[in-house]
Amino acid sequence: MKNPPKNLPSAVVITPVFKNQKNSPSLPHATEAGETIFAVIEGQPTIFVGLGEEKEITLLGVATTFATAIRLAEDKKYINVVANIPAQLFKIADGKKVGETMSRLADIAIYRFHDYHTNKDRHTNPIVDLLWQGIPVPQQKDFAIGMSTGSAIARATNFARDLGNHPPSYMNPEQLAREVEELGKHIPKLAVTVLRKKEIEKEKMGGLLGVSSGSAQPPTFIIMEYAGGKKGAAPIALMGKGVTFDAGGISIKPSSKMDEMKFDMMGGATVVGAVLAAAKLQLPINVVGLIPATENLPSGTAMRPGDILHMHSGKTVEVLDTDAEGRLILADALSYARRFKPAAAIDLATLTGACVVALGESYAGLWSTDEKLTRRISAASEQVGEKVWPMPLGEDFSCQIKSEVADIKNLTDRWGSANTAAAFLQEFAPTKNWAHLDIAGVAYSDRLKPVRTKGATGWGVALLVDMLRGFKVQ
């Protein structure tokens, strides 16, 4: 641990306040649910956090409010924080779950990305010590175990955020592959293999090759294999879109906010984070992570609208819009996953603006061909607070992707286009137990949100880890 900077306030206490306490003379004024108030009471710096009605509290609600308070403490340059957890929280959740959730959200809240700030005054001073108080003695051991788990998930989440926050001039497909290769060198039971252009050509990944053809940066195809389960047990396959910069190709995007297209790799970054967390937590399950990585740029060598691609699966795809590229590279990843004979397969992608129009910036869309997998993902979503909303598949959408000149096409009419994009991916699903998460609205943000700062969010790492922990594979 680094020595703390000098001349900074040393400690602040976080104190929970329930609604029925609001008239207490020690409080500066009423504190509503989710609100944080900084005050100095008899010389003691204090952050009051409003929890609302005592009978209505939830673990996620309390943890989110505390995490927001911890971020406030860091912004005010406090290096030591004492957080008083309300005893009532242990009546609705056990010590492990409380420790995990409080720790995970706190570590996510104090994440900062300073790699390119040369002015050190802009760097946030890190909290040196965070002391949790109020844990009942019988729960203290479990709380500590939960804290360790939560911190591991948060570190993996923040690693995914780092991958997305780097500029595309640095975080290109090759650099992404190197970052993941480095993980494989140091983490037990985690093997990393990277297919580069010649090997991708041998695999006949026409989608990945087509999308990458406009860029001077060659594509990579990253394979992560975590062997935590029984030898020979079917793995869970996770696929993530890894477009490190998306200009739209020949069908070029508008210039406004094109800088945000460095986040088009967050599906892939989330898969990296989830597999990393599974390995760090030594989950008793086998997991395969597949990340097709490329840029999507316009040039004289770029694929054109009207081109027909020969995909890894053998199917042909008519390209009507080169900006509908995520489904092309994910199709190759889904097809490649078949060789692992997965028990279930989940892909994540910042796939469509239509999903953001439909669900906004708080929910990811969820499409699935398996009801049990849908329930498992939905349950994990509720546990960790990363929201999903089930969306429809079926012939109404599948019929729209049929092409007159190829097997299928990569673009349909505007209406319901998030659903037809999912229907496109369904054509390549490696198993009947398949789900697709469109994370376009939740993968990054241009404004502060509860707990998360601007930029890449790491949304989905905690959800996937919780889903993996509950998966039973024979």
Are the C-beta atoms of 81 and 125 separated by less than 8 Å?
A: no
- pLDDT tens digits, 406-441: 999 999 999 999 999 999 999 999 999 999 999 999
Q: Per-residue pLDDT for 31 more than 80?
A: no
Terminal-to-terminal C-alpha distance of the chain: 43
pLDDT at 340: 98
pLDDT band for position 449 (cuts 50, 70, 90): confident
Looking at the structure, do residues 239 and 381 belong to the same domain, yes or no? yes
The answer as to whether 3 is a domain residue is no
Looking at the structure, do residues 103 and 200 belong to the same domain, yes or no? no
Q: Which two three-digit tokens encode residue 94?
A: 């056990």
SS3 (DSSP) at 461: helix
The count of C-alpha atoms lying within 13 angstroms of the C-alpha of 133, restricted to the half-sphere facing its C-beta, is 11
The answer as to whether 457 is a domain residue is yes
Q: Residue 454 is part of which domain span?
A: 166-469
Number of domains the chain is built from: 2
Looking at the structure, do residues 385 and 421 belong to the same domain, yes or no? yes
Looking at the structure, do residues 144 and 186 belong to the same domain, yes or no? no
Are the C-beta atoms of 119 and 170 separated by less than 8 Å?
A: no
pLDDT band for position 34 (cuts 50, 70, 90): confident
Domain boundary among 127, 153, 179: 153
Q: What is the CATH number of the domain that holds 216?
A: 3.40.630.10
Are the C-beta atoms of 104 and 153 separated by less than 8 Å?
A: yes
The answer to whether 253 is a known catalytic residue is yes
Q: Per-residue pLDDT for 8 more than 60?
A: no
- pLDDT tens digits, 204-249: 999 999 999 999 999 999 999 999 999 999 999 999 999 999 999 9
Residues 436, 365: Cα–Cα separation, whole Å? 8
Catalytic residue among 253, 304, 315, 387: 253
11 CB burial (10 A radius; 0-12, 13-18, 19+): middle
The answer to whether 327 is a known catalytic residue is yes
Looking at the structure, do residues 101 and 51 belong to the same domain, yes or no? yes
The answer as to whether 234 is a domain residue is yes
Looking at the structure, do residues 178 and 41 belong to the same domain, yes or no? no
pLDDT band for position 28 (cuts 50, 70, 90): low
> Which amino acid, residue 111?
Y
DSSP H stretches of helix in 187-321? 197-202, 206-212, 266-280
Answer left, alpha or beta for residue 42, where phi above 0 means left and psi between -120 and 50 means alpha: left
Helix (H) or strand (E) holding 469: helix 461-469
Q: Name residues whose C-beta falls within 8 Å of residue 237's C-beta, 6 or more positions apart in sequence.
A: 287, 288, 289, 290, 337, 340, 342, 344, 345, 346, 430, 431
Are the C-beta atoms of 173 and 293 separated by less than 8 Å?
A: yes
Q: Per-residue pLDDT for 143 more than 80?
A: yes
Cα 397 to Cα 88, 159, 169, 305, 423: the distances in Å are 48, 36, 37, 22, 6
Which segments within 299-426 are labelled E, that is strand? Answer: 308-310, 316-318, 344-349, 363-368, 387-390, 408-409
Helix (H) or strand (E) holding 179: helix 173-186
Looking at the structure, do residues 336 and 389 belong to the same domain, yes or no? yes
- pLDDT tens digits, 110-120: 998 988 988 87
Q: Per-residue pLDDT for 27 more than 70?
A: no
What average pLDDT does range 370-379 have in this prediction? Answer: 97
Name the more confident of 20 and 442: 442
Residues 334, 338: Cα–Cα separation, whole Å? 7
Looking at the structure, do residues 207 and 148 belong to the same domain, yes or no? no
The answer as to whether 159 is a domain residue is no
- pLDDT tens digits, 303-334: 999 999 999 999 999 999 999 999 999 999 99
pLDDT band for position 182 (cuts 50, 70, 90): very high
The answer as to whether 474 is a domain residue is no
Q: Which residues of 172-205 are buried (b: 16+ CB within 10 A; e: fewer)?
A: bbbbbbebbeebbeebeebebebbeeeebeebeb
Q: Per-residue pLDDT for 33 more than 90?
A: no
Are the C-beta atoms of 395 and 335 separated by less than 8 Å?
A: no
SS3 (DSSP) at 168: coil
Kindly write down the DSSP assignment for every residue of 62-102, as one continuous string. Answer: HHHHHHHHHHHHHHTT-SEEEEE--GGGGGTS-HHHHHHHH
pLDDT at 24: 56
Q: Per-residue pLDDT for 5 more than 60?
A: no
What average pLDDT does range 147-168 have in this prediction? Answer: 98
Residues 430, 376: Cα–Cα separation, whole Å? 19
pLDDT at 1: 36
SS3 (DSSP) at 120: helix
Looking at the structure, do residues 208 and 139 belong to the same domain, yes or no? no
Looking at the structure, do residues 217 and 87 belong to the same domain, yes or no? no
What average pLDDT does range 284-292 have in this prediction? Answer: 98
Looking at the structure, do residues 126 and 255 belong to the same domain, yes or no? no
Are the C-beta atoms of 49 and 19 separated by less than 8 Å?
A: no
Domain boundary among 98, 121, 153: 153
Domain boundary among 91, 125, 153: 153
Tell me the β-bridge partners of 348.
240, 437
Catalytic residue among 104, 327, 376, 452: 327
What average pLDDT does range 89-110 have in this prediction? Answer: 96
pLDDT at 3: 47
pLDDT at 127: 79
Looking at the structure, do residues 142 and 117 belong to the same domain, yes or no? yes
Q: Name residues whose C-beta falls within 8 Å of residue 15's C-beta, 6 or more positions apart in sequence.
A: 46, 47, 48, 49, 84
What average pLDDT does range 15-32 have in this prediction? Answer: 68
The answer as to whether 421 is a domain residue is yes
Measuring CA to CA, which residue among 223, 266, 174 is closest to residue 461? 266
pLDDT at 446: 83
pLDDT band for position 21 (cuts 50, 70, 90): low
Cα 134 to Cα 20, 63, 87, 101, 468: the distances in Å are 20, 14, 6, 16, 31
Residue 192 phi/psi, 5-degree rounding, is -125, 130
Mean pLDDT, the chain, rounded, equals 93
pLDDT at 443: 97
The answer as to whether 88 is a domain residue is yes
The answer as to whether 285 is a domain residue is yes
Q: Which residues of 261-277 are buried (b: 16+ CB within 10 A; e: fewer)?
A: bbbbbbbbbbbbbbbbb
Q: Per-residue pLDDT for 4 more than 80?
A: no
Distance of CA 101 to the CA centre of its chain: 16
